Structure 1
Amino acid sequence: MGRQCAPSAYALRPLDYLGSATISPMLRHLTIRDFVIVDRLELDFEGGFGALTGETGAGKSILIDALLLALGERADAGVVRAGCERAEVSAEFDLADGSSLTNWLHENDFDAGGGCLLRRVVDAGGRSRAYINGAAATVMQLKTAAEWLADIHGQHAHQSLMRSEAQRRLIDAQAGLSGLANDVAKAYRNWQKIRDARENAESDAEASAKEREMLEWQVRELETLGFDAQQWQDDNQEHRRLAHAAGLIEGSAAAVAMLDGDEQSALLVVDAALNRVRDLIDIDAALKEPADLIQGARIQLDEAVHALNRYRDRLELDPQRLTELEARLQAVMALARKHRVQPEALGEMQASLNERLQDLRLASDPTALAEHEAAAKNEFDALAKKLSAGRRRTASDLSKRVSEVMQHLAMAGGSFDIALEPVKEPAGYGLETIEFRVSANTGQPLRPLAKVASGGELSRIGLAIQVIASQSAQVPTLIFDEVDAGIGGGVAEIVGRMLKQLGKERQVLCVTHLPQVAAQADWQWSVAKETVQDSTLSRLTALDTAARIEELARMLGGVKVTETTRQHAREMLAIRKEK
């Protein structure tokens, strides 16, 4: 047992929410218990664009990390606050009637009547438990539900955009082609499997023939046995009955004698008791109930005698049938030992051998194998061409839109292009490679993003891509974790406007260190560290207008806040209200 965690709960609600569109469904409530340096925190969310600010190291990203845990990300013991037994995070989302998530919850036996509550508990040993609407769930189920609810863009997302694989995934997700891309990958693997089988058959025909001959003999042996799992159970039961037939006959006869055999039998004793009680009913009618019960017992005993007699009459000593069953059971046991399986598994093993035999027979027929290979390739080609067409449409649209946004992000005259280059040989990802290319200034040629973009340019281009991609996403809640790193000045103000515009259609939360971005928010929270009972805790405060001015002034002026920086902060908020 660790030391007791100091209680310090905060329930927060944005105080300076200025009338952004109400969005539903969205993240409504987040509860955090003993997570890293947060002891107890309860947050109520609104729609629109919200900013989370604070000093470096105060714990701004902890809120995002906690939400990621509730959404199914990997958990470890390090998230449990020092001295505590467990960390717990709950995220409550509104749920639209008839939505895909509602249907999924019903299909997976989760209650879907009052929103969607995702809960995660991690103990100090690193073990985690997941719940959806109060019912135990797997982490994979948590992740599946989260895909309909929130999209989190991390502060290192820009760097991932330099990788070809990440670029391809983004295009497929933007075009709604992720499922088709998976189908293409499966079709490719199937095609390659059949191709490998054909090549192996051509190069190792002799070994295949020997294996096929052995399998044919094994399958014939099993077919001759004619094993059936239900018959195996029936045979065992009948064998036990015949093997003990003499004892069963003797025992049932003895039971009949005890019930109805002589003057001391159970039926005669019960009859005597019944007659005795009936004689007394005239004296006291209360004895009628016991008499009825004895009469019922007498009937049950009589039926038992008849049932035992019928059972005994059906039994017979049949040595020949017993011998046949013993031979049958021994044959099954011998074959099971030979193949090193339990008798009950012989049927499954026969099916497996048959399947392998069919593969080998196919492999011995070059014509049939070539036909299968051609059919598999045709299936891959059809799916891959469909995927390519969708990628081309999306690449053209996204290139145009990102280029337009670049003009407002200190890259006037720059352009962005998504190149789809045909591959020499088809691959599991399709028929083309995808490469993001950029020209940051007028007159410069398009070159790969990873080679020409500076840190600041990469941040701006990455942010433009993420904001545009988020506009077509289906999730209601978008979270940006310091994705504005590397920008500032007028560009930061434009980024803030972009997020504010996005907040008119979605719920947007941005962790930011830029006052130009925070000033555009509809509401703002501030994070700070404090010491409680020798423990460092992260405290979150909802800011009203006066508090926002102080926080923006701090972000503008650094350590010392002056009246000049306060006036600048007021002007920033006033400009936001005018727009």
Structure 2
Amino acid sequence: MLTSLTIKNYALIDHLQVNFNDGFTIITGETGAGKSILLGGLSLILGKRADLSSLKDKNVKCIIEAVFNVSNYNLKTLFQTEDLDYESQTIIRREILPSGKSRAFVNDSPVNLNSLQLLGERLIDVHSQHQTLQLTQNNFQFQVIDALAKNERELESYVVELTNYKQLNVDLEQLNALKANAIKEYDYNAFLLNELVEANLVEDELESLEEEYETLNNIEDIKAHLSEAYQLLGDEQIGVIAIMTNLKSSLSKLSELSSKYEELYERVNSSLIEIDDVFSEVDAKQSDIEADPMRLETVNAKLQTLNNLLQKHQVSAVSELIEIREALTEKVGITENLDETIQNKIEAISKSAEKLDAVAKTISSKRNKAIPNLIAQLQAILSDLGMPNAQFNIELSSTENYFSNGKDELSFLFSANKGGSFNALKKAASGGELSRIMLAIKLILSNYTQLPTIMFDEIDTGVSGEISNKMADIMLQMSKNMQVFSITHLPQIAAKGHSHFKVYKEDVDNVTQTKLVKLNHDDRIVEIAQMLGGAELSTSAIAHAKELLN
């Protein structure tokens, strides 16, 4: 509910701050006093676009701030979706800068107009005789029936499953498209994969093959160098081992003569041992190395295969070829298993459709049971509102289509006159009739669901005194479950309010300003008497005003 409203520097309002209570609130004032300005300011809070003409003083920013108690509105999910901080006492502020730009804040967090509109429509419903188009819209008509049918839980289940059903169908379309493309690419991918599989790729294999190739390809040079090393080391006359053996013998004799030569002896002896080991290894390698033309041909062929594959796939390492092989394996595997995947998806869609059909059937059944109750209540209320011959013909027809709220199509027909033909509401009802039908529907809805604050803007225009009493009773009854405002010119309605505000104009320093004041009991008597008999207060008008208030 709206608990307070502050308006600064907007149109004819210099500064206005007012607190509101729950229940039924009346706003009255002479034509042109500024009631439309008040609604205009409130509409900015609800997300209407603003412009520089809204500023009273073009050099000062306009600020409109409203405080709402939202604890009973189940808005936490909306706040979370719109990334807003939830507070049970929520403050919405709108600023229009002298530059013409505007800013909006919810609990001091900046928001865009779209978020503000989403929140605003859940907080206040401004309803005038010219704003009954909603009543003729199919979605709204379904909302009314579903409220009476208590379909909230079923509709939530339906929406969740419908989302799943749509996603499954999107997945199936993508799989079928993938299959069509995959069939074209399958043969080529399978050929590439076969090449890579036959290559028996081993990571880091290229380096070892290149080394083995160099060895096999230069086998004669290697044998010659090994033979030369063998001769240099093992020749009996001039070989390194013979020379080192003689050197060791000489130093051995020196070390026997003096211990200071012992270290030299040990070093030469150690070197001789190492050289002798080298000699043995050279000898062994001479024995091991053999020319192998077949192996050379095999290694060369494998290297050519690897280099061709590297060039073909434009990569530089065997590890990258392995990655390509794995990717191709997956692609070819997907193609080969695609029919099974598609069949599984079709079965999942079928199961989802079964769930949707079951929930939609429950929704439809509950709607059909609620419709006679809705028709009876509507016709009874409208009879009290001066439409005794109003009749409704509301029919559901099941379809094979999955709509956003079930599988039903709705025919919501109306006849205002006895014996008259039924037609769509927008064709069969006048503006005044639509307004009263909407009032009846809002009354019914208020008994079944938590509605936002509703503001009736002169919906009583052209209504007789007796009917206005009935309208006032309806608004008063609605206010037991929600906050109701009525901007009215009728004293019969004004007298039924729990609180009463008057909009008026006042000249301050030769500048006209719009102001709003809350009336006490005596002020209300005067205001209602003037509504009854004009500015000149008569005794009968005052007596009548007191009677209405009592």
* TM-score, normalized by the shorter chain, greater than 0.5: yes
- 1:461 matched to which residue of 2? 437
The answer as to whether partners of 2:24 and 2:479 remain within 8 angstroms in 1 is yes
Structure 1 residues 422 and 79, CA gap change in structure 2 (3 angstroms): farther
Residue 196 of structure 1 deviates from its aligned partner by: 7.2
CA contact (8 A) 1:476 1:507 kept: yes
SS class of match (2:371): helix
What runs of 5+ residues in structure 1 fail to find an aligned partner? 1-25, 221-330, 336-345
Alignment-derived partner of residue 355 in structure 2: 379
8 Å CA contact 1:520, 1:573 repeated in 2: no
Q: 1:472 aligns with which of 448, 457, 470?
A: 448
Residues 387/75 of structure 1: CA separation in 2 closer, same or farther (3 Å cut):
farther
**Worse-matched range after superposition: 152-161 or 358-367:** 358-367
**Contact 2:175 2:338 (C-alpha < 8 Å) held by counterparts:** no
Q: Residue in 2 aligned with 1:30?
A: 5
Q: 1:215 deviation in Å?
A: 9.0
8 Å contact from structure 1 (residues 189, 428) kept in 2: no
Would the alpha carbon gap of residues 389 and 81 (structure 1) be closer, same or farther in structure 2, given more than 3 Å must change?
A: farther
Q: Kindly tell me: are residues 561 and 211 of structure 1, through their superposed partners in 2, closer, same or farther at Cα, counting changes over 3 Å?
A: farther
Which residue number in structure 1 is paired with residue 64 of structure 2?
A: 89
User: 546-555 or 200-209, which moves further after superposition?
Assistant: 200-209
Residue 494 of structure 1, CA deviation? 0.9
Which residue among 517, 527, 545 is the counterpart of 2:493? Answer: 517
Change (3 A) 1:376 1:443: same
Of 93, 104, 107 in structure 2, the residue corresponding to residue 130 of structure 1 is 104
Map of 2:136 onto structure 1 = 162
Give the structure 1 partner of residue 28 of structure 2: 53
SS of the residue corresponding to residue 466 of structure 2 reads helix
1:154 and 1:480 in contact (8 A); partners too: yes
| AA matched with 1:400 | A
- Contact 2:23/2:480 (<8 A) preserved: yes
Residue type of the partner of 1:90? E
Q: Structure 2 stretches of 5 or more lacking a match?
A: 195-310, 316-322
Query: Structure 2 residue aligned with 1:482, among 458, 461, 485?
Result: 458
- For normalisation by structure 2, the TM-score amounts to 0.63
Amino acid at match of 1:450: K
Q: How much has 1:208 moved relative to structure 2?
A: 5.2
Classify the secondary structure of the residue corresponding to 1:492.
helix
Amino acid paired to 1:123: L
Q: Are the aligned partners of 1:157 and 1:462 in contact in 2 as well (CA < 8 Å)?
A: no
Distance in 1, matches of 2:474 and 2:10, equals 32
> Kindly tell me: are residues 200 and 72 of structure 1, through their superposed partners in 2, closer, same or farther at Cα, counting changes over 3 Å?
closer
Q: How much does 1:433 deviate? A: 1.7
1:449 pairs with 2:449? no
Amino acid at match of 2:497: A
Q: CA deviation at 1:517?
A: 1.6
User: Conserved in 1, the CA contact under 8 Å of 2:6 and 2:65?
Assistant: yes
1:341 aligned residue: none
Partner of 2:469: 493
Instruction: State the alpha-carbon separation in 1 of the partners of residues 9 and 187 from structure 2.
Output: 65
Do structure 1's residue 412 and structure 2's residue 385 form an aligned pair?
A: no
Query: Deviation of residue 466 (structure 1)?
Result: 1.7
The percentage of counterpart residues that share the same residue type is 30
Amino acid at match of 1:474: Q
Q: Using the TM superposition, give the Cα deviation of residue 400 of structure 1 relative to its aligned residue in structure 2, in angstroms.
A: 2.3
Match of 2:227 in 1: none
Structure 2 Cα separation of the partners of residues 104 and 397 of structure 1: 32
**Residue aligning to 1:574:** 547
- Secondary structure in 1 matching 2:38: helix
The Cα shift of 1:464 comes to 0.9
SS at match of 1:404: helix
1:506 aligned partner: 482
- Structure 2 counterpart of 1:89, one-letter code: I
Secondary structure at the aligned position of 2:132 is classed as helix
Contact 2:395 2:411 in 1 (8 A): yes
Q: Deviations over 1:179-221 (max 9, x none)?
A: 865764665566456557767987996545236778999999x
Confirm whether residue 552 of structure 1 aligns to residue 524 of structure 2: no
Size of the alignment, in residue pairs? Answer: 428
CA distance in 1, matches of 2:192, 2:146: 48
* Residue identity matched to 1:574: E
Contact 1:90 1:119 in 2 (8 A): yes
Q: Out of 32-41 and 470-479, give the one that drifted further.
A: 470-479
